[in-house]
Amino acid sequence: MRVLVVGTVSSSIFGFRKHFLEELVSQGHEVFIYTTDLTPDIELRAKNEIGVIARKYSMKRAGVNPFDDIKAFFFLAKEMRMLAPDIVFSYFAKPVIWGTLAAFFSGVRKRYGMLEGLGYYFIDDPRNVAGKKKLIRMMQVLLFKISIPLLDRLIVLNKDDKKDIQVTYKIKCKNVSVLGGIGVDLKEYPFSLPVEYPVHFIFIGRLLVEKGINEFLDAAEYLQEVNDDVKFSVFGEVDPENPGGVNLDRLRKLQDKGVCLLYTSPSPRDRG
């Protein structure tokens, strides 16, 4: 079959979708994957290492301009009519909405989606204006109510998201599956015994409010005051486009005070 995958950033091809794409290719399927920041190097690597055809489309992950999203919808619909895939699989909120709608209006018979969480606008954040968040959340729920019922199956990672979708927001879907945590390839990250002293707490993940980075920093500040033998380190990527991004000034101050060590890509200081 011809399978078309719609995602967001190209790093997810190798960071989170590689084994999935390899499995599809090994079964003899022709696979296309669409990302928003594709480079010629990534395109070539995807073809040579995995055997998939990577294409670029335009969509701002955190943008709230509806005209930009509608342009992405029309582009994807045009691509799907040209390629005539048997299956479209979309992941993350915006691709699930617009990729699914494009697949439906292009006549693709099998449509699947995966939400790895509902996103920033469904998380309480005291830094943002509540009214603005509620308005955008209402619009996103409306778009979910239009697009998700068109899926043959929706995949989520935890029971809370399934409950929010079906009960809290009353979004209809033919089938909802709970996958559980995606995890990592243990061949690339083998187990090793931890150093027992000093106690060292490590945060690994994108530096977003919904990932718990603020709670981690709060704990680091508190524990450093009562026990300076405890260490804290943060490994993660700064995402300045995401409205739930961590406060960079706070990160810099905590690093300068020696509360925690930061290993970020790109560096907070490089962001200016």
Residue 205 sits at φ, ψ, to 5 deg, of: 155, 175
Residue 27 contacts residue 46 (beta carbons within 8 Å) = no
156 and 209 part of one domain: no
218 is in which domain, residue-wise? Answer: 200-271
In a domain, 106, yes or no: yes
SS3 242: coil
Cα–Cα nearest to 36, from 18, 56, 55, 52: 56
Residue 56 DSSP one-character state: E
Is 218 inside any structural domain? Answer: yes
State residue 126's pLDDT score: 56
Amino acid making up residue 20:
F
Q: In this structure, is residue 194 part of a structural domain? A: no
- 115 and 216 together in one domain: no
> Can you say whether the dihedral through the CA atoms of 217, 218, 221, 227 is positive or negative?
negative
What's the domain count of the chain? 2
Whether residues 97 and 172 share a domain: the answer is yes
pLDDT tens digits, 245-262: 787 788 888 888 888 887
Alpha-carbon span 264 to 235, nearest angstrom: 6
Tell me if 117 is assigned to some domain. Answer: yes
Q: Mark whether 78 and 9 lie in a shared domain.
A: yes
Q: Which pLDDT tens digit goes with each residue over 115-135?
A: 988 877 777 655 555 677 788
Is the model more confident about 109 or about 265?
Answer: 109
Q: Are residues 167 and 205 in the same domain?
A: no
Residues 208 and 164 in one domain: no
Is residue 147 domain-shared with residue 42, that is, in the same domain? yes
Last residue of a domain, one of 143, 178, 213: 178
Element (H, E) at 253: helix 248-256
Question: Please, are residues 95 and 8 in contact by the beta-carbon 8 Å criterion?
Answer: yes
pTM higher than the cut 0.75: yes
